[in-house]
Amino acid sequence: MGVRELENRFVTTLRNCAKITELEKVHAYIVKLSLSQSNFLATKMVDLCDNLGHVDYATLLFQQLDDPNVFSYNAIIRTYTHNHHYSLAITVFNQMMRHPPKSVFPDKFTFPFVIKSCAGLLSHCLGKQVHAQVFKFGPKAHAITENALIDMYTKCGDLSDAYKVFEETTERDAVSWNSLIFGHAKLGQMKRARELFDEMPCRTIVSWTSMINGYARTGFYADALDIFRKMQMVGIEPDDISVISVLPACAQLGALEVGKWIHIYCDKNGFLQKTGICNALVEMYAKCGCIDEAWLLFDQLVEKDVISWSSMIGGLANHGKARAAIQLFDDMLKAGIAPNGVTFVSVLSACAHAGLWDHGLKFFDVMKLDYHLEPEIEHYGCLVDLLGRSGCLEQALGAILKMPIKPDSRIWNSLLSSCRIYCNLEIAIVAMEKLLELEPEESGNYVLLANIYAELGKWEGVSDIRKLIRSKRVKKIPGCSSIEVNNVVQEFVSGDDSKPFSQDVFLILEGLALHQTRTNNLMEFVQEDAGQVYD
């Protein structure tokens, strides 16, 4: 039997291998028949390791080859990239380029995975170098490589080079457009992302999901829901990724009816088996005020990860159920789940809202000593809030001054708010000085300090603050509210009468005000009449 015939028989056997132990047995026969140096069989075995997720065994298979060819190199680079071993993929690519005793030149199947590894490392410099190699060795036009380059540049934040590749592409498919949309959305440039989205000749579920996710991440929650609704109107059903992307928008807007519809949709389509979707639903219910529904869904979860526990702890904390949140944190530890930074933000927030400053300080120390988690700005914010609410303003200020990272405006604003509660003008002035440096245009800070002066009866200070507001031409940010009607979230901004139904709303409000005035007058008349009868 010839070598090629033997190799083909082994390929058939390898296709039926479902476990690494089965591959090892087949590999043993290959070695026994002196076929271990066959690049053809080595490539097939490395591909099988890729499918089974056994990167170490793939590495051994590749390393035992004395003279790997381009197919073997491509197989191991592909395996490393698929399994997120991006640095190893780049190392093998470099080895390929200086392969002794003769060079092994990369082909059109090599570059997409090498470029994807550069994107995975977020290494713009490496990406540019590989791009140069594409010009040297790659085909003049290859859609998959071009799309990989656009994706790499956008993920590295270089939209200029991404557009250059996009303009030079021979075939602009949905992948090319989606990469640019993702790049703009990642940078928060949603206006340009929307322009590209509208220009697309053919949109896919990825296009819609990128827009939904981009709007939700940049705080344009109503736009995220609008895109989600339009996606369904054109006949594209949501997948698990689009559902996870839109649920935070439902949570932030309080769009409970939309969230409930998504819950039913996920149940019908088997998405509730995925922990990530259940976690998003738990957070949505908690933020929409339905803590019982959140708890019911959390309790039904078969596999609870750290996000599941953190979401539920945070939900309980926000609903004033601090002791329940702390108890759930203890249950989490008993279940063997190690808390992360988000978990500690939730439990520290629970302690702050309930005034459990002693518990909060203990958890802050536990985070550092037992779990070796370095506190971030959010944890220090919770600590300052905790101490401020408890009246320990000197200690709160000391914690801020000792922070290893620069405190942001939220921390100083938290301290200023606590100063108003306890009428501490001295520390309030310190906080206000810092806030003037960080956000001089924020009107709320001036109002807080003016209120502290007023509550202490220091009217000269109130007058000085008002003069400062006028001199700096500080403008108050208009208030905003939203309401969900017929599964559509309507936003109302103070002073904005641009909505087509604004005049109807104003007429109804005037009618309600008139009705209230008449009711008050009637009540006064009845009370006077009753008083006369009593007399």
Task: Report if residue 532 sits inside a domain.
Answer: yes
Helix (H) or strand (E) holding 202: none
Task: Report if residue 519 sits inside a domain.
Answer: yes
Task: Report if residue 520 sits inside a domain.
Answer: yes
Number of structural domains (the chain) is: 1
Q: Which residue has the tokens 């220009």?
A: 199
Cβ-contact 45, 61 below 8 angstroms: yes
Task: Report if residue 252 sits inside a domain.
Answer: no
- Classified as helix, coil or strand, 498 is coil
Task: Report if residue 465 sits inside a domain.
Answer: no
525: containing domain: 497-535
Task: Report if residue 42 sits inside a domain.
Answer: no
H helix count then E strand count, the chain? 29, 2
Distance (Å, rounded) from C-alpha 418 to C-alpha 410? 12
Task: Report if residue 106 sits inside a domain.
Answer: no
Q: Which residues pair with 489 in a beta bridge?
A: 484
- ω before 101 within 30° of 0 (cis)? yes
pLDDT in tens, 475-504: 555 556 666 555 566 666 655 666 666 677
Query: Which parts of 64-204 fold into alpha helices (H)?
Result: 70-82, 86-97, 111-120, 124-137, 143-155, 159-168, 174-186, 190-199
Q: What is this structure's pTM?
A: 0.74
Judge whether residue 395 has pLDDT over 90: yes
Answer with the residue of higher pLDDT: 456 or 320.
320
Give the mean model confidence (pLDDT) for residues 129-153: 87
Angle at the Cα of 110 (from 107 to 115), degrees rounded to 5?
A: 125
Amino acid 1: pLDDT: 54
pLDDT in tens, 204-249: 999 999 999 999 999 999 999 999 999 999 999 999 999 999 999 9
Give the mean model confidence (pLDDT) for residues 78-98: 94
Distance (Å, rounded) from C-alpha 23 to C-alpha 126? 35
Average of per-residue pLDDT values in the chain = 87
Amino acid 506: pLDDT: 72
Q: Token digits for 407?
A: 């405190």
Mean pLDDT is lowest, of 57-71, 127-141, 466-480, for 466-480
Q: How confident is the model at residue 535 (pLDDT cuts 50, 70, 90)?
A: very low
Mean pLDDT is lowest, of 270-274, 423-427, 502-506, for 502-506
Cβ-contact 287, 258 below 8 angstroms: no
Amino acid 56: pLDDT: 95
Task: Report if residue 530 sits inside a domain.
Answer: yes
